[in-house]
Amino acid sequence: MSEPIYLDFAATTPVDDRVLQAMLPFFSDNFGNPSSVHRWGQRAERALEQARRDVAEVLNCEPAELIFTSGGSEADNLALRGTALAVREATGANQLVTTPIEHDAVLSTMRQLRDHFGFSLALLPKRWSTSSDPRLQLRPVRWFLKTWNCSPLDCRILA
């Protein structure tokens, strides 16, 4: 019988050997917490900051613009809550738009922002989320302008 082929790289992948080799010391000898003030922690912090500079160079951004997270759900939470709360504070915008086909980490965060932080939340119809027809791409914009009864100038889309 032939071997099955793994086709779920959107969920997780094997770690590249170069990454594995670079990381191995931090699972054994250099195990310090980079927030700790002792020498193990300081060594880990230096390595973390070097990694931040390396990634920033590849992405052509400032190291301070990079936030490392433990995974996708944490990144979704941080990006959505951080953006929604900061933009509302700066501009008063209070409306969130997303699609029903998002990952649960996105949908749950959006619902929490609605239920506990007072945002209004619109879910676009599923067929618009999945269509590749460019003619449908303006529909979501028209839809929420109509739903919230506002002009394009009134509307600031958060997510």
Catalog residues that contact ligand PLP under the rule CB under 6 A.
Answer: 10-11, 71-73, 76, 103, 105-106
Q: Which residue has the tokens 């590849």?
A: 58
Considering the complex, state which of residue 76 and residue 98 has its C-beta at the smaller distance from ligand PLP: 76
Q: How far is the CB of 72 from ligand PLP (least distance, A)?
A: 3
Query: Least distance (Å) from ligand PLP to the CB of residue 9?
Result: 10
Per-residue exposure over 106-136, b if at least 16 CB sit within 10 Å of its own CB, e if not: bbebbbebeeeeebebbbbeeeeeeeeeeee
* Smallest distance, ligand PLP to C-beta of residue 100, A: 14
Cβ-based nearer residue to ligand PLP, 47 or 105: 105
Q: Which strand (E) or helix (H) includes residue 96?
A: strand 95-98
Q: Count of alpha carbons within 13 Å of 116, Cβ hemisphere only?
A: 8
Q: Rounded to a whole number, what is the largest CA-CA distance in the chain?
A: 61
Give 43 or 109: the residue with its C-beta nearer to ligand PLP: 109
Judged by beta carbon, residue 42 or residue 69, the one nearer ligand PLP is: 69
